[in-house]
Amino acid sequence: MSKLQRLEVEKCITFNDQAVRAIGQCSKTLKVLHFVSYYPMTSPSAMLSLAELVNLDTLNVAENLSVQDEFLLALGAKCKLLKNVDVSCKYIFK
For residue 73, give the CATH number of its domain. Answer: 3.80.10.10
pTM of the predicted model as reported, rounded to 2 decimal places: 0.88
Pairing of strands 32-36, 58-60: parallel
Q: Return the half-sphere exposure (C-beta side, CA atoms, 13 A cut-off) of residue 29.
A: 6
Task: With respect to residue 29, please indicate whether it lies within any of the assigned structural domains.
Answer: yes
Task: With respect to residue 91, please indicate whether it lies within any of the assigned structural domains.
Answer: no
Compute the radius of gyration of the chain from its Cα atoms. 12
DSSP 29: T
* Residue 77, domain extent: 6-86
State how many domains the chain has: 1
Task: With respect to residue 1, please indicate whether it lies within any of the assigned structural domains.
Answer: no
Helices (H), the chain: 17-26, 44-47, 69-78
Confidence of residue 92 (pLDDT cuts 50, 70, 90): low
Task: With respect to residue 53, please indicate whether it lies within any of the assigned structural domains.
Answer: yes
pLDDT digits (tens, 9 = 90+) for 35-63: 998 888 999 999 999 999 999 999 999 99
In this prediction, residue 5 carries a pLDDT of 95
